[in-house]
A and B are shown apart, each in its own frame.
Chain A
Amino acid sequence: MFPAHPNQFGPPKPAPAWLGWLAFLFFVFAQVFSVVTSPADAMMGHLQKNMYVHVPAAWVAFGAFGVVLVASLYFLWRDDERADLLAASSAEVGSLFCGLTLVLGMLWGRPTWGVWWSWDARLTTTLVLFLIFVGYLALRSFVEDPHRRGQWSAAVGILGAINVPIVWMSVQWWRTLHQIQSNPRGLSPVYLRGLLLNVAAFTLLTIWFIWRRYEAARYERAAEHAAQAAALGGYNA
């Protein structure tokens, strides 16, 4: 039996509408600004502009998996289902951005390295990270008992999040085709501005996505509990 919690199954606090509009408009601004203002790179030409989507997508995916780690640990510690729902929402958004990172990386790799894919350490560890979280989401759809689903997915979520530092350090630990981590200090200000703007825009968008997916998950669980209570006549007793 899942332990009762005072406000565990009540309706959630909705994300403010202004946050969604701010995230969307800021994203449009950051994308247009960075593409228009950054000149073609001497070596990579306009391909350099791939950095404004590939790098922010990777960073926010790592951040979302960090949220999965914290929420999963909290769930295992306190048995609070809200933490499990937050972890699931973050895992979904993180998986989306991780998949996007892989595709955008391939679109950069083909003209730069001459291949769409290489089994180098950075690409392979990122693919493993993506597959772990696809497995996490699949696992959640197979297990019906909320408590068991929370425990099993927390274990997978923690395992997946542990892979993030391995992905990050892979370019240092092994010889890879992929260049070392993007370092803002090594970038020209004209490119740095666009990168930071897009990182901020992607972060805002990620927060809004996670909040709204969490909101939907809370409503779904609240509806299930209300239906169960109605079936048992709990409120008429």
Chain B
Amino acid sequence: MPSGMAGGGVGYVVASYVITWVVLGAMLMRTVSSVRRARAEYDQAAKGEFRT
């Protein structure tokens, strides 16, 4: 087993999963907030359009 894998490389595995979860969690937040913001903009623009 290579020297970097002392302990079976548990530290690297934990880092892999933490990074994956953080990145996907950030993407989830970004995606949900972008849809909400874009929908609010659309609703506002649509109302403005019919008031004009």
**Does the CB pair B52–A223 fall under 8 Å?**
no
Given contacts A100-B23, A227-B49, A229-B49, contact A111 B5 (CB under 8 A): yes
Interchain nearest-CB distance for A89 vs B (Å): 10
A138 at the interface (CB under 8 A from B): no
A128 at the interface (CB under 8 A from B): no
Which residues 7-46 of B sit at the A interface, judged by CB distance below 8 A?
A: 7-10, 12-13, 15-17, 19-20, 23-24, 27-28, 31-32, 34-35, 37-39, 41-42, 44-46
Interchain nearest-CB distance for A44 vs B (Å): 7
Knowing that A110-B12, A112-B5, A216-B31 touch, tell me 16 more A-B residue pairs with CB under 8 angstroms: A24-B28, A40-B8, A44-B5, A44-B9, A45-B5, A57-B20, A93-B27, A104-B20, A108-B12, A114-B3, A213-B31, A216-B34, A216-B39, A226-B45, A233-B52, A235-B50
Using CB atoms and an 8 Å cutoff, list the residues of chain A in contact with chain B.
11, 24, 27, 31, 35, 40, 43-47, 49-50, 53-54, 57, 93, 96, 100, 103-104, 107-108, 110-112, 114, 205, 209, 212-213, 215-217, 219-220, 222-224, 226-227, 229-230, 233, 235-236
